[in-house]
Structure 1
């Protein structure tokens, strides 16, 4: 019987070997990076910084017969950083205070830093120019005066950034959306209103 004839062995192209080695190295690097990031997260336990309305009150409220509303309101907004190992930076802070959709004032803040495991309070004293109201809005003011409180809306955003050990810099938008039911007698309220990150 005739023995089968074997042809010359085909060798793998060196370029294929190089690509295989590079892929193997990249896979190992990705796995190690994932493990380091996971360990860093478990050690640091990062918490998203928050903004909240600490307190608010009406200092003065004037509503006349020609449907002009003038208010002076004090609001304290608290920036909280519950991270024990990282400072937090807050920037692009801008909130709008409204009365049933009518803008009363804008509350802005320059960029600022909150130390580790600490908080900072931003004090705003808002004084509006006379705001012309529609008959419907005027009725809402009158109803609020009868009930001894007037409702305002506070909406806006803050950008926050902080560094988490080996994970790197983390950024979030913080969105605040509050309804402030303020007594007209100047009593300070302490609403439970915080930001929710997205």
Structure 2
């Protein structure tokens, strides 16, 4: 049997200790219970992510779907076009028409080392245009050649559009003369060294547009570019052996 201890408070009222403990336990426990509930609710609000607002109309709108489908079709079209062009290039690259320098000669070179002026330079060369395609003719257009010495252009040569029959070639004889070309300081020393060594380096560089047909509608066209370094003997004007692989144009 529990015993009850009597306490006296300031106003003289006697209260049982057991009753007071029960009252404090009841009020304090209820207070802590509400605090725990509020803390849990606040934590739940902090960690809950509502996400961006969602509009059901956007998902159901036909314009959105049409835009998506259109973008997909455009992407597929670009891929197909790129694959087709790559296939055409890989198929026809072995049959690309080309140009090749087959012969050259330095006819005259009169250089003044005092002022760096080439008073007169004259030369000629043969250019072979080759069509290796066995089925169609090929046209060469926008054809131009620069004659350079150490980065200085001495001559610019060009020709009209011409056609080469299938599995055949055309030899184009070129000749040119330039007077009064002044070299810059960077070119004067190489020219003096070339004259002393009796070996003059000249570079032929240029390009041409080649076109031919495949079938009824498909037209194939590529640029072919030439960069041919040549060495001429100063006294005789003859050209040193030509590297025919280097002096053949490349496509693209």
**TM-score, normalised on structure 1?**
0.73
* Structure 1 equivalent of residue 195 of structure 2: 145
1:186 aligns with 2:237: yes
Q: How does 1:47-66 map to 2 (within 5 A)?
A: 47-64=95-112, 65-66=114-115
| Unmatched tracts of structure 2, length 5 or more | 1-79
Of 86-95 and 160-169, deviating more is: 160-169
- Between the aligned partners of 1:45 and 1:145, the Cα distance in structure 2 is 41
* Structure 1 equivalent of residue 165 of structure 2: 115
**TM-score, normalised on structure 2?**
0.58
- Which structure dedicates a bigger proportion of its chain to helix? 2
- Between the aligned partners of 2:208 and 2:167, the Cα distance in structure 1 is 19
> Aligned pairs, how many?
161
- Which secondary structure does the structure 1 equivalent of 2:190 belong to? helix
Kept in 2, the 8 Å contact 1:160–1:172? The answer is yes
- Between the aligned partners of 1:129 and 1:186, the Cα distance in structure 2 is 17
Kept in 2, the 8 Å contact 1:97–1:153? The answer is yes
Kept in 1, the 8 Å contact 2:210–2:224? The answer is yes
- Which structure dedicates a bigger proportion of its chain to strand? 1
Larger RCO (CA within 8 A; separation ≥ 6):
1
The RMSD of aligned alpha carbons is: 2.6
Q: Which runs of 4+ in 1 moved over 3 A?
A: 188-191
Larger Rg: 2
1:195 aligns with 2:249: yes
